[in-house]
Amino acid sequence: MKLIVDGDGCPVIDICIRVTKSFGKDILIICDTSHNLSRYDVETIVVSKGNDAADFIIINKVDKGDIVVTQDYGLAAMVLSKGASAINQNGLIYSNNNIDQLLFTRHISKKVRKSGGRTKGPKKRTKADNEKFEIELINLLKSKGYKIKYK
């Protein structure tokens, strides 16, 4: 099992590294050239800029049982179809029970924006958001039977 992080625009990379290493698991960060996300002792793949360039690499790297951190609903849907788990930066665990509604909401929002309307953007990230993400990631790892090895 490995944790794969969709690094483009991900505010919880350091939390992912800390939690994953405490469980003794591997982590892979994938980002495009506009982000410098290299970290000591963490595998990072940098792809060229382009729509969904990082997403295609993630889909090729993900295996059944892996966990992917992403805020991209489309990528999350593909990850779920491969038997892996997906979680967003706020701790929302994507599932077959919620992904269709999330994709539909994204579609409607895109139509509204395309017709000149405005949609609500994300609120400013807080410390509580980071804490919630960390708790949910730990719970997800534990639900897969993994135990914390290092503090």
Q: Which domains does the chain have, with CATH numbers?
A: 2-143 (3.40.50)
Look up the pTM and report it.
Answer: 0.87
Which amino acid makes up residue 60?
Answer: N
Q: Does residue 30 come out as left (phi exceeding 0), alpha (psi in the -120 to 50 range) or beta? A: beta
- The 10s digit of each residue's pLDDT in 87-99 is 999 999 999 998 8
- The 10s digit of each residue's pLDDT in 55-73 is 999 999 999 999 999 999 9
**Is the pLDDT higher at 115 or at 132?**
132
Alpha helices (H) along the chain: 13-22, 53-61, 73-81, 99-114, 127-143
The per-residue b/e assignment along 57-93, b for 16 or more CB within 10 angstroms, e otherwise, is bbbeebeeebbbbbbbbebbbbbbeeebbbbbbebbb
Report the distance separating Cα 126 and Cα 53, nearest Å: 29
